[in-house]
Amino acid sequence: MEKYLKDPVIKKTVNISYIDGSFAQVFASLASSGSVFLTKLLVFLNGSPIHFGLYSAIGQLSQIFQIVGVILTKELKSRKKLVVQFALWGRLLVIFFGFIPFFFSGKSAIYIFLSIFLISNIFQTISANMWIAWISDMIPLQIRGRFFSKRSQLLMVVGLLTGYIFSLLFDFFTKNGGSFFKNFSDLKFNPISFIFLFIFTFASLMGIIGIIVLQKQPEKEKDIEKESIKDFLTEPFKDKNFIRFLIYNIWWMVAVGVGSPFWQPFMLKNLKMSLFEVQIYGTISTISALYFLKPWGLFIDRFGNKTAMRFALVLGSINPFVWVFATEKIKWIIYFEAFTSGMMWSGANIVATNFVLSIAPDKKRQIYTAIQGTVSGLAMMFSMLMSSFFIPKPLNFFNFNITGEQILFALTGILRLTTEIPLTFVKEKSGKSARYAMIYLQQSLKVRLENLIFPLKPKK
């Protein structure tokens, strides 16, 4: 990777991407899909399981708007201006989350929250589609796995620190009513609303600073696509390998979506965990991911995304079963799962970004990415909504109570493993087989153990 960083343009791209990404990660940790603070706000607004399902599904529904990014840039030579504009509006809108508790209540507050969340996500999705094409043009394929792994490492640390600081702040002011709020006992609204207002305003500010940095990032002039929109959008569907890839991706997203709206609500409601305890879980997962990101990046550059995903799927199918045995009294067992979860997702997330780029033609990466994002989002949205509307009834198994959410957690584990089936048929030119990778890893481990037991004598 050092060889490529001697190019001043690539080096500048990488450095700015790290800085811009850090500010974007602060924003995302506080006010984007998956944020525990958005989940907490929805709990605060008395959201039901169906509302949590809709909230989770919105993050996937917005993915269909990746196509808009492709259409908007089709006849342009530059993506930068539109990336900045759409990201700006997406990040500005989250300020309004903080005002909801002051002016609305009941279901109206929930649906206003969901509406703002949807619009913000749509803008951010359009921007993200154009950004991924922009960055993939700037970063050579040979180092892309390592670039994304290093960037992810940095962003995870930033996200971890952000989560801790604001979780401690939230818990401090809300624990047992908080002595701080005794001075506001005469207010007509819940004083905790002030914390939400501060969090989401700060998130928006950090996001805007990130956009200012992003504007300094270099950009290669893109080719103008002269085909009709119809031909441009349908061309990837003539690629048989891409169709096989879409089938695998849909299968995987459906599997992951089962039960996914309930991981954080299960921690907050069923396991009675504080935000600080949730952050401990996140910390263990993040530390694990940080450790394994570099090995995953090297593994992907050496053996390919397909082989890396085969290993990730096996691990990802085991993790959810730990949650089946978690209760308020033995909630600590999910901390063990956090470690293996971080290990698995650190690899799976790099593959999610890099796999489609590795099989797409050089000048078609943006449209391939958009179509993949669209079908993936719809697939995961479908299984999320099905999970929310059709939660299984609790079971009593040998005097052990299993909630409906835990049944879904077990089901997602089974479905994840079956994703190995469609993945088998996807072809990746630069990849090596899982068997080859296993032999290589076994030989490497053997050499390491031999050197450990019988260290080489230094030459005289």
Task: Dump pLDDT digits (tens) for 348-380.
Answer: 888 887 888 888 887 787 788 888 888 888 888
pLDDT of the residue at 248: 94
Is the pLDDT at 180 greater than 90, yes or no?
no
Q: Which CATH number goes with the domain that contains 168?
A: 1.20.1250.20
pLDDT digits (tens, 9 = 90+) for 188-236: 556 778 888 999 999 999 999 999 999 988 888 777 777 777 777 788 8
Is the pLDDT at 4 greater than 80, yes or no?
no
Torsion angle defined by CA atoms of residues 97, 103, 105 and 110, in that order, rounded to the nearest 10 degrees: -30
pLDDT digits (tens, 9 = 90+) for 216-229: 888 887 777 777 77
Residues 6+ apart with CB under 8 A from 229: 71, 74
Residue with tokens 């590795």: 358
Domain membership flag for residue 349: yes
Domain membership flag for residue 412: yes
Helix (H, G, I), strand (E, B) or coil at 203: helix
Domain membership flag for residue 150: yes
pLDDT of the residue at 91: 93
Distance CA 23, CA 59 (A): 20
Domain membership flag for residue 55: yes
Distance CA 15, CA 198 (A): 30
pLDDT of the residue at 332: 86
| Average pLDDT for the chain | 83
Q: How far is CA 333 from the centre of its chain?
A: 23
Tell me the pTM.
0.69
Domain membership flag for residue 432: yes
Name the packing angle between helices 333-359 and 305-318 (round to 10°): 160
- Name the nearest CA neighbour of 171 among 277, 327, 74: 277
pLDDT band at 3 (very low <50, low <70, confident <90, very high): low
pLDDT of the residue at 354: 83
- Name the nearest CA neighbour of 248 among 194, 181, 306: 306
The secondary structure of residue 105, as a DSSP letter, is -
Distance CA 93, CA 96 (A): 6
Domain membership flag for residue 158: yes
The residue segments making up the domain with residue 12 are 7-175+185-438
pLDDT of the residue at 455: 58
Torsion angles phi and psi, residue 402, rounded to 5: -120, 120
Listed range (82-91, 243-252, 293-302) with the worst mean pLDDT: 293-302
pLDDT band at 66 (very low <50, low <70, confident <90, very high): confident
Structurally, the chain folds into a number of domains equal to 1
Listed range (161-175, 271-285, 428-442) with the worst mean pLDDT: 428-442
Domain membership flag for residue 157: yes
pLDDT of the residue at 178: 46
Average pLDDT over residues 45-56: 82
pLDDT digits (tens, 9 = 90+) for 316-335: 899 999 988 888 888 888 88
pLDDT digits (tens, 9 = 90+) for 114-145: 999 999 999 998 998 888 888 887 877 777 77
Q: How many CB atoms lie within 10 A of CB 85?
A: 14
pLDDT of the residue at 207: 93
Domain membership flag for residue 460: no
